[in-house]
A and B are shown apart, each in its own frame.
Chain A
């Protein structure tokens, strides 16, 4: 296959910008201890209480005297982890159930899809809040819950694709050769839905980052003093008039990270969509 990232997409401004943002998030997460001026938990409220941005503290300090820039950099770790883990969970569940649903059809399909409908019928955030509140709020719970909530959209996507593909002549040819279902599912169907799954997971990362931020903002995600962007925004919400940097810095980080993953996801979708490509 020609790489979908070749040709016009490499020069696409939006894609480049998105890629830059995603690279920044990944870079910050991986290199946090090297990039950050201090530790995420170290700070002395007596000497560094709510200092405005300066050369010593580029983004200022919070009420505990901790460096905001440091905490924003460390916060990338949590956001990235939420994005990756939740989408891995969503993809594993969604792809498996979507393949089964689309390929076997009939009753299996009806049952799986009704479960998907039920999942999708809940307002996602409300469901997340309900689940997070029911069990002890903690980050691992948030990772998994966001992933589980994401299975339904992924399963629908995969199922729809499989419904189209299972009538393709190469699938019929494989059946005529006597290929067992396992082989048809993994060698013929899965490789042909992979691109769509990657796109959906990339876009899903953006959603997961926002969901985690929202949960942490209301106190149902990361617990203090963990440097999560969502809880950092919450920390500063009463200080907006006196120390806006405390909320603004993590807020802008959330916005840019979400924007980055969305731009990359959108470009990938266009790249993989055969209708938008001139050659087959």
Chain B
């Protein structure tokens, strides 16, 4: 991967408490210095538990929320620094697919209009050709082109998700943030949607940032994976390496929670004690130390925050990570 398509550097998103009773409260550090790259035609999986900031990363990259600091290089310029006119133009290259197939479609707009919206905004086709384009897109995501006149409530969750994908595809994006696109779907439907995403990637060379909490899903679709804990990336690398030989104790715990379809397999379940700490008051040193099951845990973990370092092809933020453990 020579030059990445998207490069995120030092992304920070703090939520300040507002209101006069909360003026002294510390900000919530939803995203606290996240950097990664996504290559052309590549999928980067971003995993972590609820509240770790992974969705916020996706939304700040696309400027659906304002970042507190950091930059997102796309196509040679910082997407986060574009002026409004340039931003509107550039938006079509970066799209998003959402988790909730119910709230991701306007209940009062028919499917054809929803898909046509991007084409109209960016004037990608003359008015007369729009219905044809919409039909093509519906077909591309595996739906009947005749569905264009129907409303969202007439569709199942999986179908709605396909409609959401068609809406994003309509503007010919190069990069799509997939914000837990299959977490709300049945397992059988999940597989279909994942296959569709993979097909589209193969056909159109789109890059994905695939946000998920399910490592089994990420294993299927992502070439590389980054694991987030409390607003920071704690481990990243090629998917098969990270999943086969995780170096960070948090990744190990996450992996041990993935069900294995073989009742004979004996495996070690790592149950983390306690809940994830509050991102408005993260623990000192390594944010993971209060829950860390690693026997090597020591004084340093509670005082010094570990930075990402290379260990055998994987980047990991842990003082005690070793190669091939």
Contact with B along A189-212 (1 / 0, CB 8 A): 001101000000000000000000
State the CA gap A192–B105 with chains docked (Å).
12
Interfacial residues of chain A within 149-193, with CB under 8 A of chain B in the complex: 168-170, 172-180, 183, 187-188, 191-192
For A241, list chain B residues within 8 Å (CB): none
Judging by beta carbons under 8 Å apart, are B102 and A280 in contact? yes
For A176, list chain B residues within 8 Å (CB): 62, 64, 91, 94-96, 168
Interfacial residues of chain B within 271-311, with CB under 8 A of chain A in the complex: none
Question: Which residue of the partner chain, among A1, A169, A178, A183, contacts B103 with CB atoms under 8 Å?
Answer: A169
Question: Which residue of the partner chain, among B88, B89, B98, B100, contacts A180 with CB atoms under 8 Å?
Answer: B88
Judging by beta carbons under 8 Å apart, are B98 and A192 in contact? no
Closest to A167 in B: B103
Closest to A190 in B: B108
For A170, list chain B residues within 8 Å (CB): 103-106, 109, 114
Best-surrounded residue of B98, B151, B168, B171 (most CB of chain A within 10 A): B98
Judging by beta carbons under 8 Å apart, are B151 and A1 in contact? yes
Closest to A280 in B: B153
Closest to A192 in B: B108
For B102, list chain A residues within 8 Å (CB): 280
Closest to A170 in B: B106
State the CA gap A177–B72 with chains docked (Å).
18
Question: Which residue of the partner chain, among A173, A183, A280, contacts B104 with CB atoms under 8 Å?
Answer: A173
Best-surrounded residue of A172, A173, A176 (most CB of chain B within 10 A): A176
| Interface assignment of B204: CB less than 8 Å from any CB of chain A | no
Judging by beta carbons under 8 Å apart, are A177 and B95 in contact? yes
Question: Which residue of the partner chain, among A169, A178, A187, contacts B122 with CB atoms under 8 Å?
Answer: A178
State the CA gap A221–B105 with chains docked (Å).
48
For A179, list chain B residues within 8 Å (CB): 117, 121
Q: How far is the CB of A1 from chain B (nearest CB, A)?
A: 6
For A180, list chain B residues within 8 Å (CB): 88, 121
Judging by beta carbons under 8 Å apart, are B88 and A173 in contact? no
Query: What is the total number of residues of chain A having a CB less than 8 Å from a CB of chain B?
Result: 21
Closest to A176 in B: B96
| Interface assignment of B107: CB less than 8 Å from any CB of chain A | yes
Closest to B64 in A: A172
| Interface assignment of B167: CB less than 8 Å from any CB of chain A | yes
Judging by beta carbons under 8 Å apart, are B151 and A178 in contact? no
Size category of the binding interface on chain B: 20 to 34
State the CA gap A121–B307 with chains docked (Å).
57
For B89, list chain A residues within 8 Å (CB): 178
Judging by beta carbons under 8 Å apart, are A191 and B100 in contact? no
Closest to A183 in B: B121
State the CA gap A176–B102 with chains docked (Å).
18
Q: How far is the CB of A183 from chain B (nearest CB, A)?
A: 7
Question: Which residue of the partner chain, among A178, A188, A191, A192, contacts B92 with CB atoms under 8 Å?
Answer: A178
| Interface assignment of B59: CB less than 8 Å from any CB of chain A | yes
Q: How far is the CB of A260 from chain B (nearest CB, A)?
A: 28
For B117, list chain A residues within 8 Å (CB): 174, 177, 179, 187
For A178, list chain B residues within 8 Å (CB): 87-89, 91-92, 118, 121-122, 171
Contact with A along B63-102 (1 / 0, CB 8 A): 0100000000000000000000001110110111011101
| Interface assignment of B246: CB less than 8 Å from any CB of chain A | no
Closest to A274 in B: B107
Q: How far is the CB of A100 from chain B (nearest CB, A)?
A: 18
Contact with B along A3-41 (1 / 0, CB 8 A): 000000000000000000000000000000000000000
Contact with A along B169-204 (1 / 0, CB 8 A): 001000000000000000000000000000000000
Closest to B87 in A: A178
For A168, list chain B residues within 8 Å (CB): 103
State the CA gap A194–B121 with chains docked (Å).
24
State the CA gap A1–B154 with chains docked (Å).
9
For A192, list chain B residues within 8 Å (CB): 106-108
For B112, list chain A residues within 8 Å (CB): none
Q: How far is the CB of A10 from chain B (nearest CB, A)?
A: 20
State the CA gap A180–B98 with chains docked (Å).
20
State the CA gap A177–B64 with chains docked (Å).
11
For A188, list chain B residues within 8 Å (CB): 106, 109
| Interface assignment of B164: CB less than 8 Å from any CB of chain A | yes
A177-B121, A178-B92, A187-B109 in contact; A169/B153 too (CB < 8 A)? Answer: no
Contact with A along B218-235 (1 / 0, CB 8 A): 000000000000000000
For B95, list chain A residues within 8 Å (CB): 176-177
State the CA gap A71–B6 with chains docked (Å).
76
Question: Which residue of the partner chain, among B59, B109, B171, contacts A177 with CB atoms under 8 Å?
Answer: B171
For B108, list chain A residues within 8 Å (CB): 1, 191-192, 194
Judging by beta carbons under 8 Å apart, are A191 and B109 in contact? yes
Contact with A along B224-251 (1 / 0, CB 8 A): 0000000000000000000000000000
Binding site for B on A (CB under 8 A): 1, 168-170, 172-180, 183, 187-188, 191-192, 194, 279-280
- 13 A-B residue pairings within 8 Å (CB atoms): A1-B107, A1-B151, A169-B99, A172-B98, A173-B96, A175-B64, A176-B94, A176-B96, A187-B109, A187-B117, A188-B106, A191-B109, A194-B108
The 7 closest A-B pairs by CB, nearest first: A178-B91, A169-B104, A191-B108, A169-B98, A177-B118, A170-B106, A178-B88
Q: A173-B96, A177-B121, A179-B117 are in contact. List 16 more A-B contacts (CB 8 A).
A: A169-B99, A169-B100, A170-B103, A170-B104, A170-B105, A170-B106, A172-B96, A176-B91, A176-B94, A176-B96, A178-B88, A178-B91, A188-B106, A191-B109, A194-B108, A279-B153
